[in-house]
Amino acid sequence: MKKLIIILAVLLLVTSCANQEVNDNQGGKKITICLDYVPNTNHTGIFVAEEKGYFKDLGLDVEIIQPPDDGAPLLVASGGAEIGIDFQDLMAAPLSQEEPLPITAVASIIQHNTSGIVSLKGNGMDRPKGMEGKTYATWDSPIEKAIIKEVVEKDGGNYDLINMVPYTITDTYAGLESGIDAVWIYYGWDGIFAEVNGIDIDYFDFASIEPALDSYTPVFIANNDFLKNEPDTAKAVLKALKQGYEFAIENPEEAAAILLKKVPELDKNLVVESQKRLGKKYSEDAPYWGYIDQERWDRFYDWLFEKGLIEKEIPSGFGFTNDFLTE
């Protein structure tokens, strides 16, 4: 913990000086948004807000950056970025430690968990029990393995019969052709990739098997001091993001074109099809984009605690807020 505090302090000092220099030389309130991964359709609303001038209209000068090696959460916690992207499951450990990381989820990007297990069609893994005797590429995360165990055993299977190997593949479907039988994916990108490229697959998702696994993946997170000291700026950022994602919902093809303009190396067919499908998921079943349901949020963390995956119970409603969103 002392090492983490020292790292955060150093990052805060360096980034605050850098940010002040930028603010002195540019118009608008300087805001940094740190992605979780390479740009994809989870991020379309951010790039739409930038392209359409939604940030600028609200007096914001936004920089969109790639995550450092240790991820967006530490950068956001240190003040190196005001806003970042994380996942509810990955937030569990930082939120349940003795001194919780000073971050808060402020908006959901997608309303429901779209992740699950993919395999090549015909290998018997159209249901969790089919993973028995098969090779699964694992990140070796306790939460990941517990989720696999939960769905396999709910389906009457034996989790111990799965052959777990380290996740070393760089291409999901190349991996499935070379000794790996099953991989965890997010369907809105990798599942659509299979459809676009004519790859026949079997797939099952976690949330339909165990409701507690319908966690928020991904979410926007914010630095707690930023939320406390600059609430109006935080609301402005979220307002612009909401406009960006709502535009993407209503105009998927134009939104896809904006993402491709910003990141031309992406596959056009994949981006367009993913945007059409994923756009419908951004605010599905929610009263408005970004809304986080406390019952669902708590249910997932309660499940983690019951399974012994976090040492300390996360209090109800802790780690997220809807207070900076507009309906």
pLDDT digits (tens, 9 = 90+) for 46-100: 999 999 999 999 999 999 999 999 899 999 999 999 999 999 999 999 999 999 9
Q: What is the CATH number of domain 115-213?
A: 3.40.190.10
Contact criterion met (CB below 8 Å) for 158 and 203: no
pLDDT at 16: 45
pLDDT value at 164 more than 90: yes
What confidence category does residue 25 fall into, taking pLDDT thresholds of 50, 70 and 90?
A: very low
**Same fold? 2-111+216-306, 115-213:** yes
What confidence category does residue 107 fall into, taking pLDDT thresholds of 50, 70 and 90?
A: very high
What is the overall mean pLDDT for the chain? Answer: 93
What confidence category does residue 187 fall into, taking pLDDT thresholds of 50, 70 and 90?
A: very high
What confidence category does residue 183 fall into, taking pLDDT thresholds of 50, 70 and 90?
A: very high
pLDDT digits (tens, 9 = 90+) for 286-317: 999 999 999 999 999 999 999 999 989 999 99
In the predicted model, what is the mean pLDDT of residues 124-150? Answer: 98
With pLDDT > 70 as the criterion, what percentage of the chain qualifies?
92
Task: Give Cβ neighbours of residue 74 (< 8 Å, ≥ 6 apart).
Answer: 7, 8, 11, 68, 101
pLDDT value at 239 more than 50: yes
User: What does the alpha-carbon distance between residue 79 and residue 222 come to, in Å, rounded to a whole number?
Assistant: 9
Overall pTM surpassing 0.75 (yes/no):
yes
User: What does the alpha-carbon distance between residue 39 and residue 41 come to, in Å, rounded to a whole number?
Assistant: 7
- Radius of gyration of the chain, Cα coordinates, nearest whole angstrom: 20
pLDDT value at 13 more than 90: no
pLDDT at 327: 84
How does DSSP classify residue 133? T
Q: What angle do CA 262, 268, 272 make, to 5 degrees?
A: 95
Task: Give Cβ neighbours of residue 306 (< 8 Å, ≥ 6 apart).
Answer: none
> 140 — alpha (psi -120 to 50), left (phi > 0) or beta?
left
pLDDT at 15: 46
pLDDT value at 19 more than 70: no
pLDDT at 11: 46
pLDDT at 18: 41
pLDDT at 24: 36
pLDDT digits (tens, 9 = 90+) for 211-232: 999 999 999 999 999 999 999 9
Q: Six-digit token pair at 221?
A: 């997170």
pLDDT at 109: 99
User: What does the alpha-carbon distance between residue 327 and residue 321 come to, in Å, rounded to a whole number?
Assistant: 13
Domain boundaries, the chain: 2-111+216-306, 115-213
Out of 1.20.1560.10, 3.60.10.10, 3.40.190.10, 3.90.1300.10, which CATH number does the structure's domain 2-111+216-306 have?
A: 3.40.190.10
pLDDT at 59: 98
pLDDT at 193: 98
pLDDT value at 1 more than 70: no
